[in-house]
Amino acid sequence: MSLTQLQEVPPKNMILLVGPPGSGKSTFCQQATLQSLAMDRPVIFVTTEYGPSSAEKVLREKGLGVIEPGLLNFVDAYNETVGMSVSDRPDTIGANCGNLTSMGIAISKMQKRIAKEGILLVFDSLTSPYLLSGPAVVRFLRLNLSKFVAEGNSVLACFDEGSGKDEDLVGMMSLSNGVVKMELKEGKKVLDVVKHPEVNPTRIEVSVAKVGEKELWDSRFWDREMYRRLFKAEESGRVLSREFMELGVNGFWPNFAFWSGMLWDPKRFPTMRYELTKKYGSLVREVFPYLSYRTRVLIKLFMPKNVSKVKDFKKLLRVFKGYARSRGFGIVEYLDTVSKTDEHHFRIFESHDCWGFESVGTQMALLLPPLAAGQCKGFEMQKRDWNGVETKCIGLGDPYCEFKLVPGEIDELKDSMQKESSVVERIHDRLMHRLMVFLLEGKPLVERTRLGSDVYMEALSHAMGLPAMVSERYRMALRMGGVKAGKKIEEELKEAGLGEEEAIKRVFHFLEHCKVGKVTVNETIRIRENRESTWTKGWTSKWEEPCCFFTTGFFNGFFSAAKNQHVKETKCIAMGDPYCEWEFR
């Protein structure tokens, strides 16, 4: 049995692809689409994590040529959901990913428009509808997609393994005629055919190209002149440093955004954030020419060329401790009694990453350990690859957090980065509970004894900015995570008995309390000094689209549930506008 044969979905059957994000499920769906179109078989392509234009672009890159009108059709359940532009295409019907009824209606309308049997419905993917609507997706498969199959058509759908409860995945698999499990293993794409109407259980392995470092760290947006403006010692540079680095934000907001988006890729996003934060910390050498003359001289005179020994590391420690505390990231204590050559130990009090997440079942720190590792690499002349991992954490039930820093690989680091979806849900539930207590009772979102509630918006960059600048999937996750968060807030406020206008009033008070920016609401929503986009503007002058990914998703989730309205960001600070603005649709 070849992969090509497996991608020919038999008529009157529903095939479910299951695997972790990045295992090749979308690629499988695209190849199945191309094969169906080559046989003049009409396709309805449902997009929930990207728009029809993106889907069509990838299909053309994979060989899609000129096809008969009406063969390739789309149900766009992404753009409207997250507040992006919905193109007026004759081959597309829009839907709301958070509303299963709207998706069912859109599929039915497109089916009637095609007016043929033998249609292939490609659903990429069921993950977002599930994360927004929960077990109702299983009923959607049984009532809508099974009916579509019974009428002489076929369905190919995919779902991210680990994104939901085991019993819900079992329900989806039992409703499907075929199940193919996919994973990446040792440089190969592995497909296990669990069941199939025409194929005996089998295993297929396909080699895949190795992803290069440049693809993982895409620096095409970094503006070298902006480095000069941010770090130069002249008066204008100091003003910019204050503007971009000293604007505070309530520590709840970046954590809320990150853990909302984490629901879409709990295995890979922590590693991405870790690596980007480490890269950011190592930029000290890259920005060295843009620092003031005095700062450059001090670094050359007093910074060690090697930080292996405890006595040498303590010279760097003064910089790191002051940096962490002044930005509200945590209070750092160096454990010199247990530290030794090439192994440095730290204790962190009031860690921004971990505070309030007692005993959630995982290490939480994704800021200070990689930041310290990056700074070691940046200051050392050898440029060794340092790494840091938490050895104790509030999230594991410890009274404080500790991490160790060593050059080279750390065996336990990989496991600590990969989170289980159940743990991410627990963290997100903890955040939602804290938010609802704030909205309904006025209790603090974050309450640290010495550092208070605020962090510099640099923390927001590590949670929302840098990963979103280099990863389209991360941008999608922030958008959809915002939709989920906004939708859930409105539903819980309604359940608590609040009316529509009072709920809206309290949500905007929450944004102001978090210092997201200066918010005004009239015919439009306007945010001046918006933290989400100001940092992006600070790092690049090349951004050409609105970049308030989480905020836009949040507004759409909230207002779609409250007033059946959507918003679209029409102005953005990152694009050069004086403020960010959203219009109601």
Q: How does pLDDT run across 73-117, given as a tens digit for each residue?
A: 999 999 999 999 877 889 999 999 999 999 999 999 999 999 999
Q: Which helix (H) or strand (E) holds 194?
A: strand 188-195
Beta bridge partners of 195: 179
**pLDDT for the residue 206:** 84
Provide the token pair at 114.
């095609």
- Tell me the pLDDT band of 303, cut-offs 50, 70 and 90: confident
Q: Minimal CA–CA distance to 126: which of 23, 269, 19, 30?
A: 19
Instruction: State yes or no: pLDDT of 239 exceeds 80.
Output: no
Strands 14-19 and 202-207: unpaired
Report helix, strand or coil for 97. coil
Fold of 3-210: Rossmann fold (3.40.50)
**pLDDT for the residue 388:** 97
If you average pLDDT over residues 492-510, what whole number do you get? 96
Instruction: State yes or no: pLDDT of 44 exceeds 60.
Output: yes
Give the chain's largest Cα–Cα span.
78
- Kindly give, in sequence order, each residue whose CB lies less than 8 Å from that of residue 361, ignoring residues fewer than 6 positions away: 395, 396, 423, 426
Q: How far is CA 454 from CA 214, 242, 436, 466, 515, in A?
A: 34, 16, 19, 20, 9
**pLDDT for the residue 1:** 57
Least confident of 222-231, 295-304, 381-390, 396-405: 222-231
Count other C-beta atoms under 10 Å from residue 348's C-beta.
Answer: 27
On whether the CB atoms of residues 10 and 153 are closer than 8 A, the answer is no
Instruction: State yes or no: pLDDT of 214 exceeds 60.
Output: no
Per-position DSSP letters for 203-248, written without gaps between them: EEEEE-PPPPHHHHS--TT--HHHHHHHH--SHHHHHHHHHHHS-E
**Percent of residues, the chain, with pLDDT higher than 90:** 69
Provide the token pair at 220.
């095409």
Q: How far is CA 298 from CA 227, 284, 290, 344, in A?
A: 20, 13, 14, 24
Contacts by 318-323, CB closer than 8 A, 24 or more apart: 319/375, 320/372, 320/375
Q: Minimal CA–CA distance to 33: which of 69, 1, 2, 60?
A: 60
Strands 92-94 and 120-124: unpaired
Least confident of 119-133, 296-310, 388-402, 471-485: 296-310
- Kindly give, in sequence order, each residue whose CB lies less than 8 Å from that of residue 40, ignoring residues fewer than 6 positions away: 68, 71
Least confident of 63-72, 226-235, 346-355, 566-575: 226-235
Strands annotated E in 270-413? 331-334, 344-349, 386-392, 401-407
pLDDT tens for residues 94-103? 999 999 999 9
Rg (the chain; Cα; Å): 25
The segment with the largest mean pLDDT, out of 264-278, 310-324, 476-490, is: 476-490
- Tell me the pLDDT band of 195, cut-offs 50, 70 and 90: very high
Beta bridge partners of 524: 583
Least confident of 280-294, 398-412, 536-550: 280-294
- Higher-pLDDT residue of 289 and 256 is 256
Instruction: State yes or no: pLDDT of 242 exceeds 50.
Output: no
Beta bridge partners of 207: 188
Burial class (CB in 10 A: 0-12, 13-18, 19+), 192: middle
- Tell me the pLDDT band of 209, cut-offs 50, 70 and 90: low
Beta bridge partners of 158: 17
Beta bridge partners of 17: 158, 180
Asked whether the whole model's pTM tops 0.85, one would answer: yes
Instruction: State yes or no: pLDDT of 574 exceeds 80.
Output: yes
**pLDDT for the residue 458:** 82
Give rounded-to-5 percent helix, strand, coil for the chain. 50, 20, 35
Distance in angstroms between the alpha carbons of the first and the last residue of the chain: 49
Count other C-beta atoms under 10 Å from residue 40's C-beta.
Answer: 10
Cα torsion through 185, 187, 192, 197, rounded to 10: 160
**pLDDT for the residue 571:** 95
Q: Rounded distance, CA 319 to CA 332, Å?
A: 11
Handedness of CA 25, 27, 28, 33 (dihedral sign): positive
Per-residue burial over 59-82, b if 16 or more Cβ lie within 10 Å, else e, is: beeeebeeeeeeebbbbbbbbbbb
Per-position DSSP letters for 404-431, written without gaps between them: EEEES--HHHHHHH---HHHHHHHHHHH
